[in-house]
Structure 1
């Protein structure tokens, strides 16, 4: 039997805040270890303050752990310089945030928002391959013909669908989604979750989603529960 490759791995990961030795030092993650198989959809759930948001930030390389090892597709994030870590996040990781303000740049068109990671990586924003990729993804998320519009013309659910398109544009190793349906009505939430599910099912992407919503978590293959900074 061939062992399935892990797209994301955490080994003994802890994250604490505050001065060492201080009575006010807080441990948000406490020795977390897990392996997320490539081509899977994992939901991370838990009560407020359980550490699930810190889990996502550390796993995605947005924050460095106090101790332990985080690997994305075998690359040890702790071995990377800040510049190399920034490149990895840009080229090999996709993000969908809860806040629409974090997801989209209001001064850019919808299509420009989708292809932004490619442009930041040095691609010509007017190049035929970049334009074709942007239009392909907008069609996939049901927004064909809207590329020239601004983000403010879209509903919250439509903005999240654009965010999913942008998360897919670099064909990333892992897509991290932080409460992506928290502010959406049930119909819009289902559309966003279906896009994430299809990214796994059709493209073989790996999705790690933090959510407080049991309905959203039910779309995942695996549910990890955090409590007191630990997985249980």
Structure 2
């Protein structure tokens, strides 16, 4: 009896991506990424690990379109980011990418309610926050991350771990092609970290989302399907 293997399409592709800082020939140039190539399949959870200065944060910035590489190609769901104007790249990040950062200050807007924070990507894309279904969608996600009934509160009333769970809800609200997480558990206690990692794992398992997480923590990396190790700007 023959068996067939389903090959999943790549949600994220890097081809010979390099990122240099400083001017070539000046003697002060540093190579943060050195011809990095990889493909991350749809519906997978990938962790990128490595020591400080290894290039993993630059990897995330280039992969997510937050920084343009010096050379090479980055594609998200088949779209070549290098061919996009700055305006088009901004729209792609807003509409098709989710972000969870380490810093709570970067994650949430303190003047907005918690549910307004969750639906902010939809509002920035043109949705009416008072429109049918927009706030309801946010409240459903808050329920999913264990914060039902807290939607009208302000982020400052939440613990760090709760704020990070709100950030995960917001990252999922636009059904992203790829969710990027930058050290999402670095400032959390072990229990809160496990809750956040469980939410990222569920985004893959239940929704088929693609998650790429940069972390220095081997425990956090153990939640991923695949672990990529960076050293000296290269994948090992």
TM-fit CA distance, 1:22 = 1.3
- For residues 26 and 204 of structure 2, the distance between their equivalents in structure 1, rounded to whole angstroms, comes to 43
Which of 121, 139, 146 in structure 1 is aligned with 2:143?
A: 139
- Tell me the secondary structure at the aligned position of residue 151 of structure 2: coil
Look up the match of 1:92: 96
Deviations 1:170-204 (A, max 9, x none): 00000000000000000000000000000000000
Deviations 1:65-119 (A, max 9, x none): 0000000000000000000000000000000000000000111110010000000
TM-fit CA distance, 1:21 = 1.4
**Aligned residue-pair number:** 232
TM-fit CA distance, 1:3 = 2.5
Deviations 1:151-186 (A, max 9, x none): 000000000000000000000000000000000000
Name the TM-score, length of structure 1 as normaliser.
0.99
Which of 90, 107, 126 in structure 1 is aligned with 2:111?
A: 107
Uncovered stretches (5+) of structure 2, i.e. residues with no partner:
none
- Moved runs in structure 1, 4+ residues, more than 3 A? none
1:176 aligns with 2:180: yes
- For residues 21 and 60 of structure 1, the distance between their equivalents in structure 2, rounded to whole angstroms, comes to 28
Look up the match of 1:222: 226
| Map 1:8-157 → 2, pairs under 5 A | 8-157=12-161
TM-fit CA distance, 1:131 = 1.2
- Tell me the secondary structure at the aligned position of residue 112 of structure 2: coil
Uncovered stretches (5+) of structure 1, i.e. residues with no partner:
none
TM-fit CA distance, 1:212 = 0.3
TM-fit CA distance, 1:2 = 4.0
- Tell me the secondary structure at the aligned position of residue 98 of structure 2: strand
- For residues 163 and 26 of structure 2, the distance between their equivalents in structure 1, rounded to whole angstroms, comes to 43
TM-fit CA distance, 1:4 = 1.3
Name the TM-score, length of structure 2 as normaliser.
0.97
Look up the match of 1:190: 194
